């Protein structure tokens, strides 16, 4: 069993999680810290990042809180520079930040909303993964985890732009796996419906039941084992993959 535990050991590693101050991102931040990694917590609000950074430090790990709007291209490079200046390396990148506002209709989706959704869900992850992937490949390697959505696999008109952006993220995973492999592994987690704070605005019926083989929403902590698998040596032969964590949605 000790050998199995070592497969998931992240001691000495540095991880960066966007959207890391709440929901699935926060769960991954704390899981990585519990497994031994130092963690960079990134989200738009500094105070929220700092609050989770305190939790990381309480686990005995180093933490860095960095406010960044990942949809703004100009904020990406300073983030990467700051991480390498403070830690000297980055081993795990999780592109978790996302947004999925619903437009009244397809024709009423204005350009500003379209650009905002694509910026956060695709443009930002592309730029961050490109900058970090190059450094990982030139160094000791690493792993990049993109957090997509089952919406990309089961798109509906009411979230068409979001689904398209996440589908683009799925395609990007494959491209990056070939661009930076074999030293850098790139994979996607495709979550289904999880009871994060975003779910508070869902209809009660959606919160209580899903059409999956496991007909309920996921609990935030149920993302942890998949994230640890992809972040650790346990997944040494897994790259370019899309791992669905959705309760078996059809």
Tens digit of each residue's pLDDT (9 = 90 or more) over 218-250: 999 999 999 999 999 999 999 999 999 999 999
φ, ψ at 153 (rounded to 5°): -95, -20
Assess if residue 250 is contained within a domain.
no
139-153: per-residue pLDDT in tens? 999 999 999 999 999
Catalytic residue among 148, 149, 190, 235: 148
Assess if residue 139 is contained within a domain.
yes
Q: Determine how many CB atoms are found less than 10 A away from the CB of residue 204.
A: 7
Can you tell me the mean pLDDT for 174-203?
A: 93
Assess if residue 158 is contained within a domain.
yes
| For residue 1, pLDDT beyond 50 | no
Which secondary-structure segment (H or E) carries 147? Answer: strand 142-147
| Proportion of the chain above pLDDT 70, given as a percent | 99
Assess if residue 78 is contained within a domain.
yes
Q: Which residue has the tokens 């497994």?
A: 35
Tell me whether residue 162 is one of the annotated catalytic residues.
Answer: yes
CATH number for 189: 3.40.50.720
Residue 204: pLDDT band by 50, 70, 90 thresholds? confident
| 27 three-state secondary structure | helix
What pLDDT shows up at residue 198? Answer: 81
CA distance 21 to 4: 29
Catalytic residue among 21, 43, 123, 162: 162
Residue 201: pLDDT band by 50, 70, 90 thresholds? confident
Alpha helices in 43-159 (DSSP H): 46-58, 76-87, 111-118, 124-138
Q: Any long-range contacts for 168-174 (C-beta under 8 Å, 24+ apart)? A: 168/118, 168/121, 168/122, 169/95, 169/121, 169/122, 169/125, 170/146, 170/242, 172/122, 172/125, 172/126, 172/129, 172/146, 173/146, 173/148, 173/240, 173/241, 173/242, 174/240
Rounded to the nearest integer, the mean pLDDT of the chain is: 95
Count of structural domains, the chain: 1
What pLDDT shows up at residue 29? Answer: 98
The encoded tokens of residue 53 equal 């950074």
Cβ pair 191, 221 in contact under 8 A: no
| 157 three-state secondary structure | helix
Radius of gyration, alpha carbons of the chain: 17
Give the pairing type, strands 14-18 and 142-147: unpaired
Tell me whether residue 13 is one of the annotated catalytic residues.
Answer: no
Can you tell me the mean pLDDT for 177-198?
A: 95
Between 84 and 200, where is the model more confident?
Answer: 84
Residue 200: pLDDT band by 50, 70, 90 thresholds? confident
**Closest listed residue to residue 91, CA positions, set 139, 47, 43, 34:** 139
Assess if residue 168 is contained within a domain.
yes
44-75: per-residue pLDDT in tens? 999 999 999 999 999 999 999 999 999 999 99
Helices 23-34 and 46-58 cross at an angle (nearest 10°) of 30
Domain enclosing residue 211, as ranges: 2-245
Catalytic residue among 13, 149, 166, 180: 166
| For residue 199, pLDDT beyond 50 | yes
13-30: per-residue pLDDT in tens? 999 999 999 999 999 999
| For residue 2, pLDDT beyond 70 | no
Tell me whether residue 148 is one of the annotated catalytic residues.
Answer: yes
């Amino acid at each position: 069993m000790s050998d199995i535990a070592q497969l998931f050991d992240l001691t000495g590693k540095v991880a960066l999680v966007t959207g890391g101050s709440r929901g699935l991102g926060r769960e991954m931040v704390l899981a990585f810290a519990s497994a031994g990694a130092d963690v960079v917590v990134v989200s738009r609000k500094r105070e929220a990042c700092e609050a989770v950074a305190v939790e990381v430090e309480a686990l005995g790990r180093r933490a860095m809180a960095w406010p960044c709007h990942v949809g703004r291209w100009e904020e990406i490079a300073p983030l990467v520079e700051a991480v390498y200046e403070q830690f000297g390396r980055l081993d795990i990148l999780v592109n978790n930040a996302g947004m999925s506002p619903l437009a009244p209709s397809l024709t009423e989706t204005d350009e500003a909303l379209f650009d905002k959704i694509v910026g956060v869900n695709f443009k930002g992850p592309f730029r961050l993964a490109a900058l970090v992937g190059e450094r990982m490949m030139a160094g000791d390697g690493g792993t990049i985890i993109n957090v997509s959505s089952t919406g990309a696999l089961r798109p509906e008109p009411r979230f068409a732009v979001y689904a398209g952006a996440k589908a683009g993220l799925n395609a990007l995973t494959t491209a990056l796996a070939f661009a930076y492999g074999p030293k850098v592994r790139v994979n996607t987690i495709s979550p289904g419906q999880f009871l994060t704070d975003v779910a508070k605005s869902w209809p009660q019926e959606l919160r209580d039941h899903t059409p999956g083989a496991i007909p309920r929403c996921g609990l935030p902590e149920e993302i942890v084992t998949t994230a640890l698998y992809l972040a650790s040596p346990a997944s040494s032969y897994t790259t370019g993959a899309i791992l669905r964590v959705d309760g078996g949605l059809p």
